[in-house]
Structure 1
């Protein structure tokens, strides 16, 4: 891993910015870490979602999103996940507050329980607080118990609910929570 655009989070955790030339690497990584955890949500085991979200065209769109930062997460020398943050995105329930959205955070399940997610979220919260943001928010699937327990341990609270519109998700698994934390 080159030191170019490398952000050191801790002795073992670093981030590198994702660029358009990383699309194949991103797709391969997410096939390895998203599908085993979320395939059960989808009628097609997640194939449509992977093609939609991690395609070249969508990556171009993600990278062009104003105030957006999109990273690979590295643990020691291994690429183990992604983190995408969008600053200055109002939270519906707190429109008057300067908010940011943790748009995506996925880590390889083999690395869960090592404090990596906690360290990353603390880094994001500190970065945002120093940039005058007062709320960090995210969206989580209401049936993903491990993720919900993790966010609740990190002091995130549910502030809203909605249903995903994707027709390829099983109807009983479309529920989502909007969660937030004052920072």
Structure 2
């Protein structure tokens, strides 16, 4: 994995971002959700207009994990008003870290997380936070290992299914 690069995504990366976003979300959640709910979520969340708006938002940041010219994962961060849930304006939200299934366990998520930490430092964020589905044990364990602790829960809607996300945070010391 020495050739892994973490690259800031731009509007030129729209199609790559749509592709890796749909692929990784499906790989992670298709087995445990209805096909209808998955289709609805993927169409809404990765719609061209929505991603263009998010990529052009100065308070959101996308990064691609690239290996041998192939996008194998991505990271989405939000600050200020772009956060998906009202938190402190000086907090940094990790909205998404997703890695293609074939690259799980190969430190790609850790490299993306390191980029999130770097952004938090640059932005002088007081803490990082995120929501992770309570049944996504792999991801919850990853965040716990990286120093996050649960502080609340919220409902995440996937189509007509209400799921509970654990809200986790990590206080930062600069």
TM over 0.5: yes
- Residue 25 of structure 1 corresponds to 16
Equivalent position SS for 1:47:
helix
TM-score by length of 2: 0.83
Deviation at 1:131, TM superposition (A): 2.7
TM-score by length of 1: 0.79
Residue 163 of structure 1, aligned match among 149, 155, 160: 155
The count of aligned residue pairs is 170
- CA–CA distance in structure 2, aligned partners of residues 15 and 126 of structure 1: 12
Q: Determine which structure has the larger helix proportion and give its number.
A: 2
Shift of 1:159: 0.7
Flag as ranges the 4+ runs of structure 1 deviating above 4 A: 89-94
Structure 1 gap ranges (5+): 1-9
| 2:49 pairs with one of 43, 48, 57 | 57
CA distance in 2, matches of 1:99, 1:70: 17
Say whether 1:14 aligns with 2:5: yes
Q: Distance in 2 between matches of 1:75 and 1:27?
A: 17
Retained in 1: the 8 A contact 2:72–2:99? yes
Once residues 124 and 78 of structure 2 are traced to their aligned partners in structure 1, the CA distance between those partners, rounded to angstroms, is 14
Partner of 1:155, secondary structure, is coil
CA contact (8 A) 2:24 2:100 kept: yes
Q: Which runs of 5+ in 2 are unaligned?
A: none
Q: Which structure would you say has the larger Rg?
A: 1
Is residue 73–residue 98 contact of structure 2 (8 Å, CA) maintained in 1? Answer: yes
